Chain A
Amino acid sequence: MRMHEQFSPMRAAIDIGSNTIHIVVARSTSNDLDIVEDQVALVRIGESVNATGEISQEKAEATIDLLKEYKALAEKHGADPIFVVATEAIRQARNSAAFVQQVQRETGLTVELISGTAEAVLTFYGATYEVSKGPNPPAQVGVMDLGGGSLELVTARNMQITWRVSIPIGSGWLHDRYLSSNPPSYDELVVADAFLQAYFQGLRVKHHPPVLIVTGGSANSLLHLVHRAFKLEENQTQLTQRDLVRCQGLLSSLPAEEIAQRFDQPLERARILLAGALIIQAVMSRLHINEIHVSSHGIREGVLLAYERYGDRWLEVVSKSAADLNHQQQSEAPVPIIPEEQPFARSGRRMLLERTQKMVEWLKEVQKHEDIEAVHKMRVASRRLRAALDAYESCCDPKLFKKVYRQVKKTADTLGAARDTDVMLLDLQAQLEQAKSEEQAGIRWIIKRLETFRQQKQDELDSFLESLDEGTLKKQVESLIPEGVKSNGKG
């Protein structure tokens, strides 16, 4: 411990991200930190937000349990205050306000929901404080914070932020959307890679920093993986394109459980690591950079530094500098997943493939017969695919379109027959609980008939899904919109 830090106050900062919840306890000054605790747990709140738009009660409870533990840890070190900030996943959730209240009620901790720009500013402080206090800080630097639900990219000159962009793509998001098999299949990898290439091609990069610091759980886990699997020296914190290609090979050939066990990674992290590697590689290619510096510091350290610099008004000051940055850039709007100017036919090729992938990835779940919600989710995915097919019909090869459309409709109808019966059964079962005794016999009679009927529908569904050739369907969808298409005459 450095002398001056013995008397520095102890503080704690917790950040709730879409993948992880992280705490740092440190003796803090305005330009340095002596970290005494640094812990992280993977809760993946973003998973429930991606699936339903809300933080599930299960995730809320897991978060609260962890926050209670973190609070006790911070108090053990005499940390005061204990800051809690929440980022992308919480901001996006429809029930964020209720969640924040629940946390306050059950833990006594106040959660600050921070904007994307404030998050970027704080992360920049945290990720660069070590290089900025060094003898030769780089004149130009970029910081990328890769989270579960989004990615923040910031560039700076003389440690002053000059540009930032928020991208709604994170490792958890990419995994849930494209890479959900374990390990991800070749087809999934191709689609995910095609998506990232198309997306980043459309990203206008204003500055190309020669040095890029990458922070966030995925980057740090990849560094750990490279240390363990490819024997990189322990004090090395740089990763090259080549290292990431090697990670990709490893992560796409072994199941997450094996990655977790062999390379000492939490299972939940192992699942989304390939997505993280793909995103980092795509950004490196876009910035023409061959090497990144991985930092374990980020938003939490940024919060502690900001508090020491600006006191109780730290969030106000950070938000103001974030607003100034927005004003300078005239926009905080995230870069859309489909660039608005992208030609319709091109966005269609990607969109149709993506929607098809989304639908077929429910196949195994439906066939397991474990959760009736899987039938519902696959049906919804088939409807979304139909909506995309309807939208892009005018660009499609008419014959092939008919074939694919018929197949998707048949899928939706077969799932629909089973799902509609499930809904009736759920409804009747709820009524049965509240019905008077003389009414119950009638409800039981109809439930029994419906259950027999539902079994028939399940048999039909099983045999239909058995015959559904996933590979052929994907190939057909890939060829739906021919290159250089003008119009098929329908439009």
Chain B
Amino acid sequence: MAKARPITGLDPQAPTGKNARIIAKVRLEDLYSWESYVDNPYSIQELHNLRIAAKRLRYTLEVFEGVLPEASKSVVKELAQIQEELGSLHDSDVMIALLRLCLASQDSATSPDIVQSDANKHNVKGKSLVSPEMAAAFLDTAVTPSAEERYGLEQLLQSREQLREKQYSAFRQHWYTLQARDFRRETLEILDV
């Protein structure tokens, strides 16, 4: 994800508390700009971006915790949980992409480059879930898995996909719990104190 967008309207001589609130509100808007992807479990990049946005808001609230209301700590707690949930989801996405890459490279005589590009095709726009260096380490023809190892990898892929489904459901359920209590407005109200 690109660098966080610079914040406009900050006066360097203004009280820290005032600017901290402006920054936190921008980061909150950034977080909600990814909201429409919550219902699509396979918007891998967008859910990853949502996680980064949650992390940025969390760190902003932590950086300025001394000048923000005490209640912002409860917001940090929820954000940490979202970050954790989406982090686990992302870890599963990377592992699934890696396992597919390993298995696909054994399926045919296709060249490793094509396999890698195919494995990443449905993942993220412009950026691979599995870095080219990692892919190279796994596509080395000198270290191909045996039939037994391959079976284990297939089982692992299957269980990881099931785990991912559970992880996504847990995140979505948490998101909707926050929606029900209007977490966005709740946060804005805390920042307006």
Contacts and interface: CB of A to CB of B under 8 A. Distances in A.
A391 B153 contact: no
A453 B136 CA distance: 10
Contacts of B4: 390
A342 B64 CA distance: 12
A442 B156 contact: yes
A456 B66 contact: no
A386 B151 CA distance: 43
Max count, chain A CB within 10 A of own CB: residue among B94, B149, B150: B149
Given A344-B11, A384-B59, A384-B63, A440 B152 contact: yes
Interface in A464-491: 481, 485-487, 490-491
B191 interface: no
A443 interface: yes
A58 interface: no
Given A423-B91, A491-B9, A387 B134 contact: no
Interface residues of A, number: 54
A342 B59 contact: no
A283 interface: no
A446 B146 CA distance: 12
A383 B143 CA distance: 36
Contacts of B60: 387, 390-391
Nearest to A440: B152
B102 interface: yes
Interface stretch (B14-22, B35-43, B172-180): B14-22
Nearest to B158: A439
B59 A383 contact: yes
Contacts of B145: 442, 445
Contacts of B133: 453, 456
Contact of B134 (A333, A339, A345, A453): A453
Nearest to A453: B137
**A-side binding surface: helix, strand, loop or mixed?**
helix
Interface in B128-179: 131, 133-134, 137-138, 143, 145-146, 148-156, 159
B102 A343 contact: no
Interface in B23-66: 23, 55-56, 59-60, 62-64, 66
Contacts of B149: 441-442, 444-445
Interface in A309-352: 333, 336-348, 351
Nearest to B17: A340
Contacts of A423: 91
Say what secondary structure dominates the interface of chain B.
helix
B137 A344 contact: no
A444 B12 CA distance: 55
Contacts of B148: 438, 441-442
B70 interface: yes
A343 B20 CA distance: 11
Contact of A338 (B7, B67, B134, B150): B67
A337 B63 CA distance: 11
Contacts of A76: none
B10 interface: yes
A97 interface: no
Contacts of B55: 383
A438 B149 CA distance: 9
A485 B143 CA distance: 58
B126 interface: no
B16 A338 contact: yes
A387 B14 CA distance: 19
A446 B12 CA distance: 52
B9 A439 contact: no
B190 to A, nearest CB: 15
A420 B130 CA distance: 11
A481 B13 CA distance: 12
A187 interface: no
21 contacts: A336-B67, A338-B16, A340-B17, A340-B67, A341-B16, A342-B15, A387-B60, A387-B63, A390-B6, A427-B91, A427-B95, A435-B155, A435-B156, A440-B152, A445-B145, A449-B143, A453-B134, A485-B12, A486-B13, A490-B8, A491-B7
Interface of A: 333, 336-348, 351, 355, 383-384, 386-388, 390-391, 393-395, 405, 417, 420, 423-424, 427, 431, 435-436, 438-446, 449, 452-453, 456, 481, 485-487, 490-491
Given A345-B13, A449-B137, 18 more contacts: A339-B16, A339-B67, A341-B16, A341-B17, A344-B10, A347-B67, A383-B55, A386-B59, A387-B62, A405-B3, A417-B131, A423-B91, A439-B152, A442-B156, A445-B146, A446-B156, A485-B12, A490-B6
